[in-house]
Structure 1
């Protein structure tokens, strides 16, 4: 199991937000990082191509919307334009509305910093899930995608593997025991996030045979 996990990390792993403009900086639990991860989950939970959703989140970050002040001061028309430039057409208007609601939620409920949500949840994963789902546009799949990434900086969320990646892990003979996977990674939450993102890449790129050949 350990060798397959390491191969997934080495060949397919990626750090959270690793394909976004934030990839060049080490990720820490700044308000900007957490907000970017929520937007990433909101966008990628919709049934559109992975490439298109990644292009969209890149445009949102380039527009500075991971800064709560910038997002909060943006207009619906401005958010719609950024989403259009990202090619995010099918869910553009609803997502522009949801991004506005997200800004209001973060400012009004958590003083502009979603790290305060984790504090309100006392670091507990299920309470965090309950609170994050109060954001319009964040359903069960979006929460899973958010947890995949945020465990790298909110260590109390680790170990976490979203349901689709967990199925991929089972198909690859790794199994479905998240704690066993975490132990194989020396309980390193950043490595766990890299691994889960690697599983997602294996699934999306249909590269299961590369790992199964070991």
Structure 2
């Protein structure tokens, strides 16, 4: 099987981005970019991916799709939305982080993350640095944002973080970002990065199940 054929199969099985799962129609305009940032905040703690996505969908469903709406929401509204998505244990601290992050984006970028991109002046490392200034966004959150936004912001291409590269190596694909990027069109880079991470998680789960000790019932 050729590498391109393997990648096509990988995209068919695992190539759904977190933004797609959360119902975000990702475009280079303020609201969807902020929604992606919100999703990254939700992923910033040790919580299952499906719960983080469910929490994002719940927040968006009650109208918290912009930094202004998020900043104006009451703490009770935020905690309630997170709770309905079973985003517990971290609900209080995440509600605080979401409110603080929304106010930061409003104050620093007037609610438009394209201004962050402009401030970075085409430097992907600087984009990551600026993202990490936002409350609760650390290296993992910045990596997720860049993975998903690379379809919109060419200077981020190719964005394959450590987890995606590990997934590529485990599947016998090249781990070098440039060589991976050569296997798909630019429009599919976010899907490929997501697919590599998902495939790696699936492989780890399979190995863990295979190595589990036999127990008597």
- Same fold by TM-score, threshold 0.5 exceeded? yes
Aligned to 1:164: 163
Is 1:195 aligned with 2:195?
no
Q: Which has the higher contact order (CA 8 A, sep 6+)?
A: 1
Rounded Cα–Cα distance in structure 2 between residues aligned with 1:183 and 1:205 = 24
Superposed counterparts of 1:71-82, under 5 Å: 71-82=70-81
Structure whose CA Rg is larger: 2
- Which aligned runs of 4 or more in structure 1 are off by greater than 4 angstroms? none
Q: Decide whether the 8 Å contact of 1:172 with 1:208 is kept in 2.
A: no
Q: Decide whether the 8 Å contact of 1:9 with 1:194 is kept in 2.
A: yes
Rounded Cα–Cα distance in structure 1 between residues aligned with 2:62 and 2:101 = 16
Aligned to 2:120: 121
Match of 1:10 among 9, 12, 27: 12
**RMSD across aligned C-alpha pairs, in angstroms?**
1.8
Superposed counterparts of 1:12-91, under 5 Å: 12-22=14-24, 25=25, 27-91=26-90
Aligned to 1:206: 203
Q: Decide whether the 8 Å contact of 1:60 with 1:66 is kept in 2.
A: yes
How far is 1:63 from its partner?
2.1
How far is 1:171 from its partner?
0.9
How far is 1:90 from its partner?
1.2
How far is 1:2 from its partner?
2.1
Deviations 1:112-141, CA, capped at 9 Å, x for gaps: 101110000012110111111001101111
How far is 1:207 from its partner?
8.3
TM-score normalized by the length of structure 2:
0.88
Rounded Cα–Cα distance in structure 1 between residues aligned with 2:202 and 2:20 = 17
Deviations 1:18-70, CA, capped at 9 Å, x for gaps: 11233xx4x31111111111111111231111221121111122122222221
Rounded Cα–Cα distance in structure 1 between residues aligned with 2:13 and 2:23 = 21
TM-score normalized by the length of structure 1:
0.89
Residue 55 to residue 162, structure 1, CA distance change in 2 (3 Å):
same
Count how many residue pairs are aligned between Structure 1 and Structure 2.
Answer: 204
Rounded Cα–Cα distance in structure 1 between residues aligned with 2:160 and 2:142 = 11
Structure 1 stretches lacking a partner, 5+ long: 210-214
